[in-house]
Amino acid sequence: MSKKTLKSSEEINQLAEEFNNENPQKIISYALDKYTPNISISFSGAEDVVLIDMAKKIRDDISVFTLDTGRLYPETYRFIEEVRDYYNIDIDVYMPDRESTEKLVKEKGLFSFYDDGHNECCSVRKIAPLKRALEGLDAWITGQRKDQSPSRSNLPVVQIDPAFGGGELVKFNPLANWTLKQVWQYIYENDVPYNKLHEKGYISIGCEPCTRTVTPGQHEREGRWWWEEATKKECGLHSGNIRK
């Protein structure tokens, strides 16, 4: 990591307070100016494309990565290519380790998470690839929002990553204070691409076996890991949000 860009936890906490009421564009501009080229945007859903759109309007040399768990919807794979073409950007795709995936499937089958929780599967299909994606980075940008789940209710706009990087990785959450309505308002007003599954009742979209549509009045995250308790609904990317 580039030592000149690293900050102490105290400095990051102060930065979070300073930026808490700022618009996402200002936060992204600061992040890209401070940490490029050792910063990347994590991409999977609607919020992340909003980040890409904002970042691309700030500077052209942005870095974007996504995790291919091997169990995504066909619409999601097409969405990744649509975003790649629309913004004329490279998207680094990180996949699970073959041996680890084969071992899990051989020992426990393809749907063990319905019985013993999603953590083990996410560890193989998300956490391990994410660690590779974050290697060499000083910072990354995510589309997390406070209102997405109970585990994110205290999410700061910038933090020392609580799960990865050994205390030396900065994590920016520029949309932390936005609502789902604001995300979609930006998408419509700026003609931003989105996953066509959203037109079929999906709000929060992950792997096919772990995602379903929600009915009117249900919270967006009720369609993810619906068989688990709400405060535990975090995947590998943001497992540090869960309080021990």
Query: Mean pLDDT for each 10-residue chunk of the chain (244 residues)?
Result: 63 95 97 97 97 98 97 98 98 98 97 93 95 97 89 89 94 97 97 97 93 85 82 60 48
Q: What residues are annotated to the active site? A: 235
| Residue 22: per-residue pLDDT | 97
| Residue 35: per-residue pLDDT | 96
Closest alpha carbon to 173 in 6, 27, 18, 21: 27
Alpha-carbon distance of 49 to 54, in angstroms, equals: 8
Alpha-carbon distance of 162 to 130, in angstroms, equals: 14
How does strand 158-160 pair with strand 139-141?
unpaired
* DSSP assignment string, 25-70: HHHHHHHHHHHTTSEEEE-SSHHHHHHHHHHHHH-S---EEEE--S
**Dihedral (Cα; 34, 40, 46, 51), 10-degree rounding:** 20
pTM score, whole prediction: 0.90
Closest alpha carbon to 196 in 73, 60, 51: 73
CA 112, distance to chain mean position in Å, is 24
Specify the residue for token string 């540090």.
Answer: 240
Specify the residue for token string 């959203």.
Answer: 198
How big is the CA angle at 48 (ends 46 and 182), to the nearest 5 degrees? 55
